[in-house]
Homo-oligomer: A and B are copies of this chain.
Amino acid sequence: MRLSELGEADFLRELGARFTDHPDVPIGIGDDAAAIRMPDGESVLVTVDSLVEGTHFLPSTTPPRFVGRKSVAVSASDIAAMGGRARAAVMSLIAPPEIELASVWEVIDGAAEKCEELGMALVGGNMARSPAGLIVDVTVLGHTVDGRTLKRRGAAVGESSYVSGTLGRSACGLKLLQAGATLSASNGLVAPAHLRSGPLELAPECIRAHLDPEPRLALGVELSARELATACIDLSDGLSIDLVRLCEASGVGARIHESFLPLAPGLVAWEREWERDPVELGLNGGEDYELLFTSTPPLGGGQEAIASVVGVPLTLIGEVVAREPGAPVVSWVRDDGSVEPLETTGWDHFTRE
């Protein structure tokens, strides 16, 4: 059945019936606005992100359930980058009338499921007719913890920079999806013949990282509570461009070391299989949704302590340096010892063809 056959009124009636009450949500889906209780004394954090068919995903590579899950995750990642707790989401779903109703439910169920995993409630939304393709906009509300926030601004010369997890898993997963690989319903890899000579055992993790990213909410809260990060951003568009954003907000420069970069094993293995340099996607791949932050003094033992609490490794990747007029914002020390300006070839929505 298509959405146009059911109609908006019946759809919304069924939607309301699917959602149950939630503590701290006195008014949920079905009224003009939702009401959410936040802890007294904390500021509300709010962020919005979009997934646009054709720009952010293709129906051929991203099943609708993952569109829903990912739409929540990418917005929640911005709350993680602020060191906040994510609490609630509202979804604007702009869909073509001919969309299969089952796909719409998959998107909504995926979003609700991801909200629940992250301790959030899906509290409301809006539906409208799309002229072309599916567009999902998710606004996530969170709050500060003990009044603290992590900002992009705050990095100072002499500090160290770190990233959580690994780099390039998502970009490698996207390449695998585009090459025809998929995950079955039971999460098993389905690979076409031309990929079968590659390191298949490393493929599912990369594909999952692309389809179903995990925002680093616990890490953000830990970094904020321990006052360990002087500045923080999440890696949505690629380390090269997101590091520039953090530096520009802080008025500093940065130097990173090629040999320090925690490239994902899957990325390294598959890029070698494809005879490409894995560093390129590790720097520019985007959608890793790891946290990039600066710290003073160097984390040292704190690094392992946090990693053990939040279950994600932290890796020193470089230093914060003074911003010299005319010099590149970020430079990198190559494996051969040479120092080069770092090109920022991350995603630009409007100039990239």
* A interface residues (Cβ-Cβ under 8 A, vs B): 3-9, 11, 26-27, 30-38, 40-41, 43-50, 52-56, 77-79, 81-82, 84, 88, 90-92, 94-95, 97, 123-133, 135, 137, 139-142, 144, 149, 151-153, 232-234, 241, 249, 348-351
Contacts and interface: CB of A to CB of B under 8 A. Distances in A.
B52 A149 contact: no
A92 B92 contact: yes
Given A11-B350, A30-B249, A48 B132 contact: no
A26 to B, nearest CB: 6
How many copies of this kind of chain does the complex include?
A: 2
A59 B204 CA distance: 45
A128 B52 contact: yes
A169 to B, nearest CB: 21
B43 A41 contact: no
Given A50-B128, A90-B139, A128-B55, A4 B351 contact: yes
Task: State the main secondary structure of chain A at its contact with B.
Answer: mixed
Contacts of A149: 26-27, 35
A152 B32 contact: yes
Given A88-B46, A137-B92, A152 B30 contact: yes
Given A44-B141, A48-B90, A52-B131, 15 more contacts: A8-B349, A31-B249, A32-B78, A33-B140, A38-B38, A40-B41, A47-B124, A49-B92, A92-B137, A92-B139, A94-B137, A95-B350, A127-B349, A129-B349, A137-B137
Contacts of A81: 32-33
B141 A46 contact: yes
Nearest to A90: B48
Contacts of A40: 40-41
